[in-house]
Amino acid sequence: MKSKSLLILLTIGSFFPMEAQEKKQAVNLFFQSYNTPFNVPAFDKIKNEHFKPAILEGIKRNEVEINAIANNPEAPTFENTILAMENVGQLLSEVNRVFGNYNSANTNDELQALAKEIAPNLSSHYDNISLNEKLFARVKTLWNKKESLNLNLEQAKLLENRHKSFVRSGANLSATDKDKLRKINAELSITGLKYGQNILAETNKYELVISDKKELAGLPSQLIEAAASDAKAKGKAGKWVFTLSNSSVMPFLQYSSNRKLRQEIWNAYQMRANNDNEFDNKENAVKLANLRGEKARLLGYKSHADYVLEESMAKKPENVAKLLNDLWKPALEIAKVEAADIQKMMYKEGIKDKVQPYDWRYYTEKIRKQRFDLDEQELKPYFSLDNVRKGVFQVTENLYGLKFKQLTDIPVYHEEVTAWEVTEANGTHVGILYMDFHPRASKRSGAWMTSYRNQETKDGVRQAPVISIVCNFTKPTADAPALLTFDEVTTYFHEFGHALHGLLSDVTYKSLAGTSVPRDFVELPSQIMENWAAEPEVLKMYAKHYKTGETIPNALIEKLQKAGTFDQGFTTVEYLAASLLDMDYHSQTAAITLDANTFEKNAMQKIGLIDAIIPRYRSTYFQHIFSGGYSSGYYSYIWSGVLDTDAFEAFKTTTLFNPEMAKSFRENVLEKGGTEDPMVLYKRFRGAEPSIEPLLRKRGLDKKQVPAKKIKG
Q: Over the range 509-540, which residues count as b (16 or more CB within 10 Å of their CB) and which as e?
A: bbbbbbbbbbbbbbbbbbbbbbbbbbbeebbe
Please state, in angstroms and rounded to a whole number, the distance separating the CA atoms of residues 273 and 397.
43
Please state, in angstroms and rounded to a whole number, the distance separating the CA atoms of residues 129 and 23.
28
* 221-233 and 246-255 helices, crossing angle to 10°: 140
Q: What residues does 462 pair with on adjacent strands?
A: 457
CB 512, CB 455: distance < 8 Å: no
What is the per-residue DSSP string for 299-360?
TT-SSHHHHHHTTSSS-SHHHHHHHHHHHHHHHHHHHHHHHHHHHHHHHHTT--SPP-HHHH
109: which DSSP letter?
Answer: H
- 710 SS3 class: strand
- Which phi and psi angles does 69 have, rounded to 5°? -70, -45
What is the per-residue DSSP string for 628-655?
SS-TTTTTHHHHHHHHHHHHHHHHHTS-
Residue 292: name the closest of 164, 192, 176 by CA. Answer: 192
CB 173, CB 132: distance < 8 Å: no
Amino acid (1-letter code) at residue 466: V
CB 644, CB 690: distance < 8 Å: no
Please state, in angstroms and rounded to a whole number, the distance separating the CA atoms of residues 194 and 18.
29
Query: Of the residues 495, 574, 600, 671, which is catalytic?
Result: 495
Please state, in angstroms and rounded to a whole number, the distance separating the CA atoms of residues 1 and 245.
13
Please state, in angstroms and rounded to a whole number, the distance separating the CA atoms of residues 439 and 450.
17
**Beta strand segments in 194-293, E:** 208-210, 240-242
What contacts 540, CB < 8 A, 6 or more positions away?
551, 552, 557
Please state, in angstroms and rounded to a whole number, the distance separating the CA atoms of residues 535 and 355.
34
Residue 97: name the closest of 456, 519, 522, 453 by CA. Answer: 453
With residue 419 as reference, give the H or E element that holds it: strand 418-423
What contacts 339, CB < 8 A, 6 or more positions away?
355, 360, 610, 612, 613
- Which phi and psi angles does 568 have, rounded to 5°? -75, -20
Residue 424 annotated as catalytic: no
Q: Using CB atoms within 10 A of its CB, is residue 45 exposed (0-12), middle (13-18) or buried (19+)?
A: middle
Q: How many residues does the chain have?
A: 713
**Residues noted as catalytic:** 495
